[in-house]
Structures are given as C-alpha cells and as structure tokens.
Amino acid sequence: MSSTQPLRGVRVVSLALNLPGPAALMRCRALGADCLKFEPPAGDPMVHYSQAAYADLHRGVSVRTVDLKSAAGQAEIQAELARTDVLITSFRPSALNKLGLGWKSLQPLYPTLICVAIVGAPGARAEEPGYDLTYVAEQGLVDGLQLPASLFADMGGSLMASEAVLKALMLRAQPGRTQGKGVLLEVALSDAAAYLALPRHWGLTTPKGAV
C-alpha cells in the first residue's frame, strides 16, 4: 500500500476553502498524506453549496475551526506549522500578509515548510477576484449561454496544486541549494483553464478539427 502512497508520512495543513483547495487536499489524502484543514468560524461555503460534495472532499481529513484573526487562532496555527511539511492556501497574497501567514513571514520561522498558494491568476493578477467561469470563458471554453458541464478551472487547479506538493517535496529532497529547504509554489486557476483549453487552441476540438 505504501508504495502507491508517496505522501505517506507527509503532514499537509490547508487553509483553502471552496473547491480547489479541498479538492487538492482530497488528492493529497488519497496519496497517503496526513491532512488537517483549518476553517473559519463561519465554516467553508462548500458545505452550503453541497453537503455531499463537502463530505466527499473531507473524507479522512481532520477539520478544525479557528479564528485566524484572534491571538488564540494564531497560536494554534503557528503550533501546527512547526510540525507541518506543506501548507496549502487560497487567500489573496495581501490577505495572507495581513494574517502574518505570507511567505516572507513564514519562511524564516519554518525554513523547511513548503507553501502551495492557489490563486485566481498568476503574479500581479493574484489580487484580482475571479471565478471558475471567468477563467474558462477567457480560454473560449464557454459556448453560447449554456454553463460548462463541470468546474474545469477549479478541478484542474486542484490537480495542479497536488502536483505542486509532489514537485516541492522532490525539490526539498534534491541535493544542492534546495535540499532541506522549503519552497513557495503558486498555482493559478487561470493557468489550469489555459492548460485544459490547449486542444481547443490547437484546433483539435473545433467543428472542423481532427478530433
């Protein structure tokens, strides 16, 4: 069993809400990781969208309620980070910084900690609000007035986030300048949508395309 669970023994903590973060955590759990998720006092909005989806996403995941704006909440998250391999977030960078959980604040305290930041769009656009439909539409994957059959950017982003966890752990284990050191990797939902849209842009799935 352990041979098919490369994350066995790896501790993952998530602050990410809604769909991409919990879906990434679900994948990490399936790969054997020990997963803990912190939710705000109001809970994760996903439980209001679909209790069945919430249950599937959090099966095998420990969930705690914490107010990160309180001193007690900060003490709790900091204590957990001291024994954590990977932190997954989905906050805007400025929001993380206000909570003292930005990379520049965490890296000196926890030099081996890996951070996977799920954002809407990369780089400077990480502060922009956006939704799955926004990024899918930007890639020309919305035809007419009918909604897409799935939340492609969110689910694709979750796979890219779990891939980023594996990539960062490999980097941390490699001999050289990254050995034993934490790393920050950003995963953008807009990039996930762009990746899923490549067959369309190549002309493979257009009406006259080969596929």
43, 164, 167, 180, 183 from 173: Cα distances, Å = 35, 14, 10, 6, 11
Rounded to an integer, the average pLDDT of 84-106 is 96
Q: Is the dihedral of CA 5, 7, 11, 12 positive or negative?
A: negative
Q: Report the alpha-carbon distance of residue 57 to residue 30 in Å, rounded.
A: 11
Decide if pLDDT at 191 tops 80: yes
Q: For residue 185, give the H/E element and its range.
A: strand 184-188
Chain-centroid distance, C-alpha 152: 14
Least trusted range by pLDDT, from 43-47, 55-59, 99-103, 124-128: 124-128
Structure tokens at 189: 């939902």
- Between 143 and 127, whose confidence is greater? 127
Q: How do residues 171-181 score in pLDDT, each as one tens digit?
A: 999 887 677 88
What pLDDT is recorded for position 79? 96
What pLDDT is recorded for position 3? 67
Q: Report the alpha-carbon distance of residue 55 to residue 104 in Å, rounded.
A: 34
Decide if pLDDT at 75 tops 90: yes
Q: Is the dihedral of CA 121, 127, 132, 133 positive or negative?
A: negative
